[in-house]
Amino acid sequence: MSIIKNYKHFLLVLIIFLFSTSVNFYYGLIGVFPLDSFLSFDTGYKFINGELPFRDFWTPFGFTLDLFQGLIFKLFGVSWYNYLFHSSLLNFFLALSTFYVLNKFNVKLTYSFFFSLILSVISYPVSATPFLDHHSVIFSLFMMYCFILHLKTDKNFYLIFAPIFFSLAFLSKQTPSAYILVCLSIVGIFYLIFNFSIIKILNLFLGTIIVLILFFLYFFINDISLISFWYQYVLFPLTIGDIRLNSDFLFPLEFNRVVTRFKIIHLSLVPILISIFFDLRQKFKIFYDKDFYIKFSVILFSYSLIFHQLLTLNQKYIFMIIPVNLAFSYIFSKDFKFKYINKFLLFIGLATVIYYKISYLDNRKFMELEDVNLNNAENAKTIHPNFQSLKWITPEYKNNPSLEIKKLRDIFTILNSENRNVIILTHYQFFSALLNKKNFFTLSKTYTYDSISLPKKNEKYFLNYKQFVFSKIKRNKINIIYIIGTDINSLIINDLFGKDCLKILKENEILKQYDISKCQNY
């Protein structure tokens, strides 16, 4: 019997692997949104060639994606397929870990398999390419899984991995991982108060020490300033949070914004909330019930994501938590009798994945391609052979992708003959990697001049950014800056150097070449 059981598990895991990676690859080959799609393409290449975030380019975002992408490029080469392999692999690990956790809760194999599969459809494929928010959510979910597996199995070693996964989440993007940590920490503190054990605390401490040692060792070996990290990754992003908390991002907390927009998430939590209602009959004993902490962890995780979504400008992507909520609703629905609860949960899961596929995936809504005829897409191998099979179409050139491709090929011709040390500002962040140019430098991970990626002139920390940029220019003896793309605001360099000293050497509809050698202020 054990051989048959192991065979079934192996077969289901194999199917999960093939399905979760294939669905992400499928959508990752349809259309691009340059600002987001290439976020870790060039920086992944730069990572393995010694150009590191915080030290060599400004970033308010983490380096987890760049590190992993760099390793994949190093092992398998630079290509669009290997770029998608990164996100597809994490999509698989998410589905696999969910399947593993549900099996630990003795969920039927068919249900575990179902929830894991639908999770793989509505998690990473919405962006398909490596994306900061997705990594942050997924690693945070792994952190929660470690906590609830400890509660379920009483095995303390799971607690060692919780701080490790949080660090990966936080170093992907500060939010929503920070919100999730706060919520889970509250649950964890109450749990330790009523279920105190020095062994549990020591395991958490061990995981934390491992993270800190690796973190400081990495910074020490690569000569990265902790002060630079502090300004770029902590202080400057806090100003972004202040702006959003004091604006209309979160408030007013209207019913339509908080409940209606996320109605399926709320609905998926109803059985868990009902179960907690029944638990309240235990009164004070509830604080010794481990299931109570598991339920609250799942609930607070979901509401942390809703809070985060209200504070961002991104398309909705947090629907990925619905299959997880439905799975735990299935687990805890045993606490009350409702004849059709299981069928209801399966129906919600199936309806969600169909709706999400049609409304978000098929039209690539997250990539701003919702109103674009995707049939107009061109094969991107005409841009570069390493983009083979990518169906190229972007929101800006939605009616004429071939024109954009022609312009990009012209830029490739210009840059291929560029042997000087230059800085390139563009949302098409793939030139360095595809041309294998180590003399192409970057100022920042992204170039949206909106007080989110970069501090604007007269804003807090602009002088820190300016000093960082000038130090880089002097160190690498750079006199030429390229701006590629019509959506890059020239104020980025005007505010840095002063408009009068900048000399335009070359200009067309999509490219500008500036000489900064006459600028004396750096």
DSSP state of 281: G
In a 13 Å sphere around the CA of 117, the CA atoms on its Cβ side amount to 17
Report how far residue 230's alpha carbon sits from residue 357's, in angstroms, rounded to the nearest whole number.
Answer: 40
pLDDT at res. 448: 82
Sheet holding 503-507, edge to edge: 440-441, 422-426, 480-484, 511-515, 503-507
SS3 506: strand
Q: Which two tokens stand for residue 262?
A: 């996320």
pLDDT at res. 1: 45
Amino acid, single-letter form, for residue 420? R
| Residues in Cβ contact with 261 at an 8 Å cutoff, skipping those fewer than 6 apart | 316
pLDDT at res. 333: 85
Please report how the helices 2-28 and 109-122 are oriented relative to each other, as an axis angle in degrees rounded to 10.
10
pLDDT at res. 277: 86
pLDDT at res. 226: 94
Let me know how many helices (H) and strands (E) the chain has, helices first. 21, 7
pLDDT at res. 251: 59
Q: Which two tokens stand for residue 351?
A: 């309806």
Q: Where are the domains of the chain?
A: 2-30+79-366, 399-515
Please write down the HEC assignment for all residues of 196-235: CCHHHHHHHHHHHHHHHHHHHHHHHHCCCCHHHHHHHHHH
Q: Centre a 10 Å sphere on the Cβ of residue 248 and count the other Cβ atoms it contains.
A: 7
Radius of gyration of the CA atoms of the chain, in A = 24
DSSP state of 424: E
Going residue by residue through the chain, which has 522 residues, state the pLDDT in tens, using 9 for 90 and above: 455 567 788 899 999 999 999 999 999 999 999 989 999 999 999 998 889 999 999 998 889 999 999 999 999 999 999 999 999 999 999 999 999 999 999 999 999 999 999 999 999 999 999 999 999 999 999 999 999 999 999 999 999 999 999 999 999 999 899 999 999 999 999 999 998 899 999 999 999 999 999 999 999 999 999 999 999 999 988 887 666 555 555 556 666 677 878 899 999 999 999 888 887 777 777 888 899 999 999 999 999 999 888 887 677 889 999 999 999 999 998 766 676 888 889 999 999 999 999 999 999 999 999 989 999 999 999 999 999 999 999 999 999 999 999 999 999 999 999 899 999 999 999 999 999 999 899 888 888 887 678 888 888 889 999 999 999 999 989 999 999 988 787 888 888 888 888 888 887 888 888 988 888 665
